[in-house]
Amino acid sequence: MTARTIVITGASDGIGAAAARALSQSGDRVVIVGRSPAKTAAVAESLGADFVVADFASLDEVRTLAAELQERYPRIDVLANNAGGIMGEREITVDGHEKTLQVNHLAPFLLTTLLMDRLVASQARVINTSSAANVLFGKIDLGDLQAETKYSPNKAYGDAKLANILFTRELQRRYNDLGLTTAAFHPGVVATSFSTGSTTLMRLIYQTPLKRLLLGAEQGADTLVWLATARPGTDWASGEYYEKRRIQKANKQAYDQQLATDLWELSSTLVAAHSAPLAS
């Protein structure tokens, strides 16, 4: 059986690195994508895996990442959009976008759409790491998607994680008939470094001794690994939101098909400046 090519973003640490370890052991060819050159290279070296460095706070780096992946890999069987995190004070990226929105949603949206032809040709599955924060804090207003009038770190993160689910559902609607499958999932409350840049109370849990109460990275990666290896359409349903290998109820906005379509169109506009045309 030919080894599959699995691209995992945010794989230099936490559940991304744990998923990469598990999938490498099963014989898949894993490509590690991370922001830190040293950490990304170290994880890749430990697994004998390929790696690419990209900072999702720069959309030009995402475009370069997409081009490099297409040049290196004639097939991409799984794209795991796992990079993300909760931020601190409101910050604008070099691209002019609110950082939480860009790193968690716009960057993976751009990466996926730039790779779309390759993904469809490979009959790939796209897995998006969301969070229960979509229910706790998410309420998307497309008129204030950049949180210019109403910002808090938790709300920005909740909105971005809700956007991940809306993206999943619209990806399903547009591309499932072409053979693409997709799912979003909540990994659980995992002891990782994803809140390092945050000033919120969540950091007290993730970056203090309270961290010992949280799930390990391997536990958090379990659903990602399952979605990457189990049979879509048989073991799991494409377009759904999962936790612990089970479909979970998401924010009520996640089921608004018009909102999903409108978010896709707005996201396309936001990432399209000075770039090649995106998949529609």
Residue 244, CB-side half-sphere exposure with 13 Å CA sphere: 7
Cβ-based burial of 215 (10 A; exposed 0-12, middle 13-18, buried ≥19)? middle
Instruction: Please name the residue ranges forming H helices in the chain.
Output: 14-25, 37-47, 59-72, 99-101, 107-114, 116-121, 133-136, 153-175, 202-206, 217-229, 257-271
Does the annotation mark 241 as catalytic? no
Q: Which of 73, 151, 157, 255 is catalytic?
A: 157
Query: Distance between CA 79 and CA 108 in Å, rounded?
Result: 10
Closest CA to 25 of 53, 40, 46: 46
Q: Tell me if 40 sits within 8 A of 56, measured CB to CB.
A: no
DSSP notation for 84-107: ----SS--B-TTSSBHHHIIIIIH
Query: Distance between CA 144 and CA 174 in Å, rounded?
Result: 25
Residue 225, C-beta contacts closer than 8 angstroms, at least 6 positions apart: 19, 22, 23
**Residues annotated as part of the active site:** 157
